[in-house]
């Protein structure tokens, strides 16, 4: 039994636990071990099924938290994006050219084709 991790301490703990359950449920102590083992045998597969369901539900519960973090990141990026757009508009304004909506849309399309702002910046720094 010791090879399975059931030493004297663990067997004593298990016995005491079964006796406490039996006492709390008015089960005669002579029948307690048999009832406990029968209950484990009957409910073991059901318990395993519940564990995987519980894990899935915990994952589902964490999804809104992760979505909230993603949204907070996006919200925090808005001021920086606004500053970038203002700088872009000022850059063209300083050249005494006005920036049209079409030019901004073209710029956005080019950035998206590169795979996003980080990819576009990396591409520019490699040029």
Distance between CA atoms of residues 78 and 101, nearest Å: 19
Tens of pLDDT along 77-126?
777 667 776 776 666 555 556 667 777 788 788 778 878 777 777 776 67
pTM: 0.35
Helix (H, G, I), strand (E, B) or coil at 112: helix
CA distances from 104 to 57, 64, 83, 107, 112 (A): 44, 34, 14, 5, 12
pLDDT (0 to 100) of residue 96? 53
Distance between CA atoms of residues 71 and 117, nearest Å: 18
Percent of the chain, pLDDT > 70? 79
């Amino acid at each position: 039994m010791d090879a399975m991790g059931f030493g004297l301490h663990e067997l004593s703990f298990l016995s005491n636990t079964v006796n406490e359950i039996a006492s709390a449920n008015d089960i005669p102590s002579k029948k307690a071990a048999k009832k406990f083992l029968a209950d484990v045998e009957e409910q073991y597969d059901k318990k395993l099924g519940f564990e995987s369901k519980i894990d899935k539900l915990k994952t589902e519960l964490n999804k809104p938290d992760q979505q909230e973090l993603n949204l907070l990141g996006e919200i925090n990026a808005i001021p920086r994006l606004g500053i970038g757009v203002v700088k872009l508009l000022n850059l063209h304004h300083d050249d005494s050219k006005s920036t049209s909506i079409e030019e901004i849309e073209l710029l956005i399309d080019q950035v998206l084709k590169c795979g996003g702002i980080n990819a576009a910046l990396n591409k520019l720094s490699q040029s």
